[in-house]
Amino acid sequence: MNKYVETLTVDNSVLALVDHQTGLLVSCRDMDPHLMTQNIKGLTSLAKTVNMPTVVTASMPDGPNGPVMPEITDILGDEIIERAGEINAWKSPEFKRAIAATGRKKIIMAGIVTDVCLMFPAISAVAEGYDVYAVVDASGTWNNTVMQAAMYRMSQAGVKVATWSSVLAEIMDDWRSEHGMELGEILAQHTTYRWVYNSYLSATNQK
């Protein structure tokens, strides 16, 4: 099947989070920081709920970039690939091995900052045959112009630009699926979909 129409599933995807570090977060000005944090928590909760393999990496976390944000480690645990100097995470042998070890060719990827920590490994992974979904609203960068430029360059290289809620819906596929209601609850927790979800629960006496 053409990779541009093949959909994400629980069984064919791995989540890669690149450099969501506290020191880098302060530079993100293309999105409201609270909204970005909610998006990141939603994406990580999605992976946790469906038992999707996850790979988390950080660039020089003992330096000014800081540690991985606690909102991620609180959900996924503290297993982190700490890179000594590679800016492009794809040039880290440990990171590449961790992705390859999952046996999955679809990478759901987010990173801070978007135009470096996400864009570089996303393009590099595509060049090596992976199908990468760049989750831009669970990423962040200096300003909206920089974000738009990164999106254009990634798209030109064959990276699929996505949002975390669309990834969740694609993974869910059907409200009657094994994790349908759990994923709906995650969407409700982190977006304005909560009003729809709460109305449904009230109407069906599930609240």
Q: Model pTM?
A: 0.95
Tell me if the bond preceding 113 is cis, omega within 30° of 0: yes
Query: Does residue 21 form part of some domain?
Result: yes
Query: Does residue 111 form part of some domain?
Result: yes
* Buried b or exposed e, range 86-97, using 16+ CB within 10 angstroms: bebbbebeebbe
Closest CA to 153 of 101, 112, 118, 201: 118
117-158 pLDDT per residue, tens: 999 999 999 999 999 999 999 999 999 999 999 999 999 999
Query: Does residue 104 form part of some domain?
Result: yes
Query: Does residue 181 form part of some domain?
Result: no
Closest CA to 11 of 50, 44, 41: 50
Q: What is the pLDDT of residue 200?
A: 74
Q: How many domains does the chain have?
A: 1
Query: Does residue 60 form part of some domain?
Result: yes
173-207 pLDDT per residue, tens: 999 999 999 999 999 999 988 777 777 777 787 65
Q: What is the pLDDT of residue 59?
A: 97
**Contact present, 102 and 130 (Cβ < 8 Å):** no
Distances (CA, A) of 12 to 15, 47, 144: 11, 12, 32
The CATH number given to whatever domain includes residue 26 is: 3.40.50.850
**Contact present, 164 and 42 (Cβ < 8 Å):** yes
**Contact present, 105 and 131 (Cβ < 8 Å):** yes
Query: Does residue 88 form part of some domain?
Result: yes
Tell me if the bond preceding 132 is cis, omega within 30° of 0: no
Q: Which residues pair with 161 in a beta bridge?
A: 134
Query: Does residue 8 form part of some domain?
Result: no
The active-site residue, picked from 117, 123, 126, 187, is 117
User: Which residue segment(s) compose the domain that 61 sits in?
Assistant: 13-173
* Residue 102 tokens, joined: 């999952």
* Residue 124 tokens, joined: 């590099």
Query: Does residue 34 form part of some domain?
Result: yes
**Contact present, 50 and 179 (Cβ < 8 Å):** yes
Clarify whether 117 is annotated catalytic.
yes
Q: What is the pLDDT of residue 206?
A: 65
3-56 pLDDT per residue, tens: 778 899 999 999 999 999 999 999 999 999 999 999 999 999 999 999 999 999
Distance CA 169, CA 50 (A): 12
Q: What is the DSSP letter of 195?
A: H
Which of the four pLDDT bands, split at 50, 70 and 90, describes residue 62?
very high
Say which range, 57-61, 80-84, 188-192, has the weakest mean pLDDT: 188-192
Q: What is the pLDDT of residue 201?
A: 75
Which of the four pLDDT bands, split at 50, 70 and 90, describes residue 1?
low
Q: What is the pLDDT of residue 85?
A: 95
